[in-house]
Structure 1
Amino acid sequence: MAENNNKNIPLYAVIFAVIAKLYFLLTHHIQEDAFITWRVAQNLLDYGVIGFNGDTKISASTTHLYVFVSYLFNLIFGKENFIEPLLILNTVLFTIGSLFLSHLLLKNPWHKAIFIFLFGLLPPSIKISILGMEYGILFFLEMALLYYGFKKEKKWALVVFPVLILFTRIDTVIFLGIVFLVDVFWNKKIKWFYVLGGILGVSSALAFNWFYFGEIVNNTIVAKKLAYDRVYTLNQDFEYFRLNYGNFWGMLKLPGDFNPITIIIAIFELLCFIFLIRQSEKRNYFLWMIFLFAWTKQIIFLSQKSLFDWYYWVPQILLFVPVLVFVLEQKVKRNWWLSALIVVYILPMLAFQTIHSIATGNGEWNYRRSIGLFLNNYEKDKKQWILLEPAGYIPYFSGLKAIDEVGLVDKQIQEEIKKDKPNYWLNTVKKRKPKYLLSYNSLFEGKDGLYYKTHYKLLNEFRIKNHLQSDNKILEKIYKLKPSGTDYNLYEKIKD
């Protein structure tokens, strides 16, 4: 009986880990791009089309599977009430994924329970769980593949999970490829069912893009490549890496261009990994998979100048896995190691993420959402267009049709970028004549100021400084300590 209870301890840890993170829902820290996915899901609900603006098809979201999941949650709970249930689902799935991971790496049920709880409290885990992106589902699917496909050796898992993973994000081909290479090197044979799963996954994702959208690669990838493309010299590449690596290899972003904490943690992660793989354990098979994947993905994405921090959440948390395993398996002074880890690292990281989420939630939910709500109340004709960046909160809460600067949700602006990148914003305004413009800058100043003064009027100025107050003095101190948000100027087209 006692043995059965011990087996259930990791399950209890899953429950406690989920509950422990739910207070982050109160911060309203939700990633901007989540609202793009949710708008696509609601567009599918309203128009029967995967798009962003009415009946125009466009792969505005990076994830197809999460669009369909979001669609179901909108259908079941309604547009006003689906967000919290969906965020809870993401949290539960991520935590079950961490349970699978604990089964791959640890034997002692108590070790698994501690692993699940501490693993779930680290900043990337919190962001994967609560910020509304597709990574909760993705982490669950990836760990389920490793557990059922490679530990339990279920052939169905080797076929089904790669399809679901690739339909969630096409860049997961990196994860699937590293797993394949490690498996072949380790076992000296090829799992042909896994190869079949990979072929079906890639072909189904690409076929869906081609037959539904008329494109091979998601529009989001094409748009970002076009908008952010720059030619760098080798020296500039090195300088770029030096300035940015610290904020993506570690678990937190720090001001400045040098992050010594990241270097210390990265070295400790590497040392723990080396120590563990020197032991003759079956779990080294999975340690190699997750560690090589984490390093490979970060190197690839950073080399491609991909600075969106959500690309790095899963690699960040997987790189820290050897540290947790190392500490939990210490035979001498384990409690000392564990206490030191919690006091010196886990709790400070949790405190940092709490402050960060409160401040960012204020800047996004309280501030940026208020711009969308203002427009929703001000403009009743939802067929009107707004040109802005980014395309998350404000289009979602305003209900207006949107042209974003990057072209994630509107392909026509991509053509303007191709024709005349320095002047594409003005050319889009002249050609499309959107009723509203939302800009970080004053459009009435500069070389094109006369055109804007002639055709548009300043409707409202939105300033982040006006959203740094709170009746709660602690919250107000956090808002002012880490102000999050950007000043905007809103312009309305003058009637002809």
Structure 2
Amino acid sequence: MAETQNSRLPIYAVIVTVVFKLLFLLTHYIQEDAFITWRVAQNVLDYGVIGFNGGTKISASTTHLYVFVSYIFNLIFGKEYFIEPLLIFNSILFTIGTLFLSHLLLKNPWHKAIFIFLIGIVPPAIKISILGMEYGILFFLEMSLLYYGFNKGKKWLLTLLPILIMFTRIDTVIFLGIVFLVDVFWNKKIRWNYVFGGILGVLFTVGFNWFYFGEVVNNTITAKKLLYEQQFTFAQNVDYFLVSFGNFWGMLKVPGNFNPITIIVLIFELLCFIYLIRQREKRNYFLWMIFIFGWTKQIIFLSQKSLFDWYYWVPQLLLFVPILIFVLEQKEKRNLWLSLLVIFYIVPMLAFQTIHAIATGNGEWNYRRTIGVFLNKYEKDKKQWILLEPAGYIPYFSRLKTIDEVGLVDKQIQEEIKKDKPNYWINTVKNRKPKYLLSYQNLYEGKNAEYYKTHYKLLKEFRVKDHLKSDNKLLEKIYNLKPSGTDYNLYIRVD
């Protein structure tokens, strides 16, 4: 009876972890890009087209599979009520993924339960679960591949899961490739079901892009490369890498190229990994997979100057895994090791993420969302256009047609960037005459001030400082400790 109860401990840990993380829904901390995906899903609902602005096809979202999942949730719960159920779904899937990972790496049910809870409450895990991005589904699919495909030997899943994984994000080719190489090196043979699945995944994803959108890669990749691409010297590349290294290799996004916490954690991760693989156990097969992937993914994206922190969530977690296993399996003074880890790392990380989520949630939900809500009430004609950046909260809640500065949701602005990059913004305004402009700057100052004064009037100013107050004094202190958001000026065309 006791043995049966113990075997259920990991399942109980999944439930407790999910329930614990649901508290973060109260912060309304949702990533801007999630609203792009959700608007695309609603565009499918309204127009039958994967797009952003009516009947125009565009791969505005980085993830196709998550668009369809979001579409189903919109269909079931309605546009007004689908967000919370979808976030809970993401959190459940992610935590089940950690359950699969615990089965691969640990034997003791108590160790598995503690592993599931502790890895579930560090910052990347919380962000994967509640920020609305596709990584909850992705983590679940990747861990399912390792557990059922490579551990249980389910051949049909070795073929199916790579297709679903690549259809979620095309950059998962890195994960699939590392897993393939480690498997071949370890077993000295090729799993042709997996190779077939990988080939199908590439063909299906690229083929879908080509036949539906007329492009090989997602528009989001093309747009970012077009606007952000610059020529760097070798020294500039090194400096950029060091700054990014300091920000992303640990659990914290801390400015500056020297982050002592990051360096200490990195060294400890390496030492724990070396200690574990020297034990020559069967699980080393999976430890090599996740550790090499974690390093490879971070190095590739850092070298490409990808500063968006969600690219690093899954690698951050997987690189932290050896530390948790090392501490949990200490035969002597395990409780001391575990207490030190929890008190000096897990709890501070959780506290940081809680404060960050409350402050950022205020800046996004209570501030940026109100701009969209204002426009939704002010402008009844939803066929009118707004030029702004970014394309998440404000277009979603305003329901207006949108031109974003980067070109994620509108391809025409990319043509202006190609023709005259320094002046593409003003050229877009002159050529397309959007009814609304939302800018970080005062457009009545600068070289094009006369044009803006003639054709646009200032409709409303939105200021972050106006949203740093709360009846709850603790919340107010957090808002002021880490103000989140950007000041905006909203202009309306007068001719």
TM-score (normalised: structure 2): 0.99
| Alpha-carbon distance between aligned partners in 1 of 2:219 and 2:90, rounded to the nearest angstrom | 25
Report how many aligned residue pairs link the two structures: 495
| Alpha-carbon distance between aligned partners in 2 of 1:98 and 1:307, rounded to the nearest angstrom | 26
Deviations 1:23-63 (A, max 9, x none): 00000000000000000000000000000000000000000
Question: Where does 1:288-299 land on structure 2 (aligned, <5 Å)?
Answer: 288-299=288-299
Question: Where does 1:376-395 land on structure 2 (aligned, <5 Å)?
Answer: 376-395=376-395
Question: Where does 1:25-104 land on structure 2 (aligned, <5 Å)?
Answer: 25-104=25-104
Deviations 1:461-495 (A, max 9, x none): 10000000000000000000000000001000012
Q: Is the 8 A contact 2:247 2:255 kept in 1?
A: no
1:3 positional shift: 1.6
1:254 positional shift: 2.0
Q: Is the 8 A contact 2:49 2:57 kept in 1?
A: yes
- Which amino acid in structure 2 is aligned with residue 146 of structure 1? L
- Which amino acid in structure 2 is aligned with residue 25 of structure 1? L
- SS of residue in 2 equivalent to 1:245: helix
Question: Where does 1:186-205 land on structure 2 (aligned, <5 Å)?
Answer: 186-205=186-205
| Alpha-carbon distance between aligned partners in 2 of 1:244 and 1:290, rounded to the nearest angstrom | 21
1:257 positional shift: 3.7
Deviations 1:378-423 (A, max 9, x none): 1000000000000000000000000000000000000110110000
1:444 aligns with 2:444: yes
1:261 aligns with 2:261: yes
| Alpha-carbon distance between aligned partners in 2 of 1:473 and 1:2, rounded to the nearest angstrom | 47
Question: Where does 1:232-311 land on structure 2 (aligned, <5 Å)?
Answer: 232-311=232-311
1:482 aligns with 2:494: no
1:252 positional shift: 1.2
- Which amino acid in structure 1 is aligned with residue 114 of structure 2? I
Gaps of 5+ in 2: none
- Which amino acid in structure 2 is aligned with residue 463 of structure 1? R
- Counterpart of 1:107 in structure 2 is 107
- Counterpart of 1:170 in structure 2 is 170
| Alpha-carbon distance between aligned partners in 2 of 1:133 and 1:70, rounded to the nearest angstrom | 10
Q: Is the 8 A contact 2:102 2:116 kept in 1?
A: yes
- SS of residue in 1 equivalent to 2:387: strand
234-243 or 350-359, larger mean C-alpha shift = 234-243
Q: Percent identity?
A: 80
| Alpha-carbon distance between aligned partners in 2 of 1:37 and 1:141, rounded to the nearest angstrom | 19
| Alpha-carbon distance between aligned partners in 2 of 1:398 and 1:252, rounded to the nearest angstrom | 33
- Which amino acid in structure 2 is aligned with residue 139 of structure 1? F
- Which amino acid in structure 1 is aligned with residue 90 of structure 2? N
| Alpha-carbon distance between aligned partners in 1 of 2:44 and 2:481, rounded to the nearest angstrom | 40
| Alpha-carbon distance between aligned partners in 2 of 1:277 and 1:388, rounded to the nearest angstrom | 51
TM-score (normalised: structure 1): 0.99
- Counterpart of 1:328 in structure 2 is 328
| Alpha-carbon distance between aligned partners in 1 of 2:134 and 2:109, rounded to the nearest angstrom | 29
1:305 positional shift: 0.9
| Alpha-carbon distance between aligned partners in 2 of 1:253 and 1:413, rounded to the nearest angstrom | 31
- SS of residue in 1 equivalent to 2:469: coil
Q: Is the 8 A contact 2:227 2:406 kept in 1?
A: yes
- Counterpart of 2:217 in structure 1 is 217
Deviations 1:347-369 (A, max 9, x none): 00000000000000000000000
- Counterpart of 1:15 in structure 2 is 15
Kindly report the root-mean-square deviation, in angstroms, between the aligned alpha carbons of the 2 structures. Answer: 0.6
1:258 positional shift: 2.4
Q: Is the 8 A contact 2:247 2:256 kept in 1?
A: no
Q: Is the 8 A contact 2:386 2:438 kept in 1?
A: yes
Deviations 1:79-124 (A, max 9, x none): 0000000000000000000000000000001100000000100000
- Counterpart of 2:337 in structure 1 is 337
- Which amino acid in structure 1 is aligned with residue 482 of structure 2? K
- SS of residue in 2 equivalent to 1:457: strand
Deviations 1:259-308 (A, max 9, x none): 11101111101110011011110001000000100110111011111100
| Alpha-carbon distance between aligned partners in 2 of 1:255 and 1:472, rounded to the nearest angstrom | 29
1:313 positional shift: 0.5
- Which amino acid in structure 2 is aligned with residue 361 of structure 1? G
- SS of residue in 1 equivalent to 2:79: coil
Gaps of 5+ in 1: none
1:250 positional shift: 1.2
| Alpha-carbon distance between aligned partners in 2 of 1:168 and 1:180, rounded to the nearest angstrom | 19
- SS of residue in 1 equivalent to 2:177: helix
1:225 positional shift: 0.6
- SS of residue in 2 equivalent to 1:189: coil
- Counterpart of 1:151 in structure 2 is 151
- SS of residue in 2 equivalent to 1:174: helix
Q: Is the 8 A contact 2:246 2:256 kept in 1?
A: no
| Alpha-carbon distance between aligned partners in 2 of 1:194 and 1:253, rounded to the nearest angstrom | 36
- Which amino acid in structure 2 is aligned with residue 78 of structure 1? G
| Alpha-carbon distance between aligned partners in 2 of 1:287 and 1:349, rounded to the nearest angstrom | 24
| Alpha-carbon distance between aligned partners in 2 of 1:21 and 1:435, rounded to the nearest angstrom | 41
